[in-house]
């Protein structure tokens, strides 16, 4: 019975590994959407089901780790010890809802199921705990600094009294990011039309083109500054730069037209449509600015700890997060921005 059992065991291991890999992909994808993990490439393999994802970097990392563990442990005993602790941990977590019954009815010590395999900790059982601790540290560092950077930008929004066409990418969906004043101080000219662009992913398959661009005006009106939230589904592909610019400008024209119609009074409409005339002038101005050329403004914000911060915070922000940022995907590559029309200005945030 050895050979048939061996075949069944191999097939069972393949099924279990696929479940583990799929679970890892799903967890990383959710962590990425919550800002708890550095950028990685997420490929959605199904147009109907959101959770079916593939992450090449994580897939190769798991492959390398499997080879290293196999070569290091050299036998299935240590691997089974590591697997045993991982399974027990999962069972403890997923059975927290019946804790009350275990304590009141069964009179069971909650630590018994966990401590029953702790004696194998030094014989390979440490592996899942080490892996989970490593991933938890990465997620904690990235989320902490990501949140501190967002709070800094939120608390240091500049006035609108500061702006040919520019697209400034930012994660803020309201207000003006603080790095904009840094742009103004470091570029020789002010763009005649400026659009603050925030690209957001939604947990739906596709976002129709008519609902993709959401515009608002940034006051005062004579500065011709706009905020645009670009919404994509998980199966949508970000267009090439020329097509993206065309779609954005066309939707911006529609926004300007409808805004003027909504704000025009009945008297203006009766007197010959001066509201329409104002809309046409602004639309023509935007088109001329677009024809002259679109510049993509990217702020490279470096986050550092304040001088009076604790040593632990300095290590987390200045070194650990910096290492993760340099070794994962960068924003302009993720957005496929043409490098020939990118203007970068660096700025340091002290958090």
Q: List the pLDDT tens digit at each of the 351 positions of the chain.
A: 899 999 999 999 888 888 888 888 888 888 888 788 888 888 888 877 777 888 998 899 989 988 998 888 888 788 888 888 888 888 877 777 777 777 788 777 767 766 766 777 788 878 888 888 888 888 888 888 888 878 877 777 655 444 456 666 666 666 666 666 656 655 544 567 888 888 888 888 888 888 899 999 887 777 788 889 989 888 887 777 788 888 999 999 999 888 888 776 545 555 555 556 678 888 888 888 888 778 777 767 778 888 888 888 888 888 888 887 777 766 555 556 666 677 777 777 788
The Cα 280–Cα 243 span in angstroms is: 23
Domain ranges of the chain: 2-140, 153-350
Q: Angle 59-20-89 (CA atoms, 0-180°, nearest 5)? A: 130
SS3 assignment, position 169 = strand
The Cα 74–Cα 86 span in angstroms is: 19
The Cα 32–Cα 328 span in angstroms is: 12
Q: Angle 155-157-162 (CA atoms, 0-180°, nearest 5)? A: 160
CA distances from 55 to 24, 69, 142, 332 (A): 9, 21, 19, 19
> Bridge-partner residues for 216, per DSSP?
227
CB 179, CB 345: distance < 8 Å? yes
The Cα 315–Cα 293 span in angstroms is: 43
The Cα 214–Cα 255 span in angstroms is: 9
4's enclosing H/E stretch is: helix 2-33
The Cα 167–Cα 21 span in angstroms is: 38
Where do the DSSP E strands lie in 174-278? Answer: 193-202, 213-218, 225-233
């Amino acid at each position: 019975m050895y050979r048939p059992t061996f075949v069944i065991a191999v097939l069972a291991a393949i099924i279990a590994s696929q479940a583990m890999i799929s679970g890892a992909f799903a967890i990383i994808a959710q962590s990425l959407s919550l800002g708890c993990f550095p950028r990685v490439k997420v490929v959605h393999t199904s147009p109907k089901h959101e959770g079916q994802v593939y992450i090449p970097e994580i897939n190769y990392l798991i492959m390398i780790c499997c080879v290293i563990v196999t070569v290091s442990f050299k036998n299935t005993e240590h691997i089974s010890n590591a697997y045993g602790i991982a399974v027990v941990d999962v069972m403890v977590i997923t059975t927290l809802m019946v804790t009350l019954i275990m304590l009141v009815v069964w009179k069971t010590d909650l630590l018994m199921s966990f401590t029953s395999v702790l004696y194998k900790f030094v014989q390979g059982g440490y592996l899942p705990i080490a892996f989970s601790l490593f991933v938890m540290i990465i997620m904690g560092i990235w989320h902490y600094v990501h949140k501190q950077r967002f709070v800094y930008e939120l608390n240091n929004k500049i006035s609108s009294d500061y702006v040919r066409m520019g697209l400034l990418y930012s994660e803020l969906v309201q207000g003006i990011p603080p790095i904009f004043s840094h742009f103004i101080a470091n570029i020789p000219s002010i763009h005649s039309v400026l659009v603050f662009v925030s690209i957001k992913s939604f947990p739906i398959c596709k976002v129709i083109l008519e609902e993709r661009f959401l515009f608002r005006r940034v006051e005062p009106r004579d500065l011709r500054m706009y905020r645009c939230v670009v919404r994509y589904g998980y199966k949508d592909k970000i267009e090439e730069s020329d097509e993206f610019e065309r779609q954005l400008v066309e939707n911006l024209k529609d926004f300007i037209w409808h805004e003027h119609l909504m704000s025009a009074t009945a008297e203006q409409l009766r007197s010959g449509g001066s509201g329409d005339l104002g809309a046409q002038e602004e639309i023509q101005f935007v088109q001329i600015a677009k024809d002259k050329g679109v510049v993509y403004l990217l702020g490279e914000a470096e986050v550092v700890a304040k001088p009076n911060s604790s040593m632990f915070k300095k290590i987390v922000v200045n070194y650990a997060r910096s290492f993760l940022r340099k070794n994962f995907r960068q924003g302009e590559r993720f957005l496929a921005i043409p490098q020939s029309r990118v203007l970068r200005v660096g700025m340091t945030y002290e958090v």
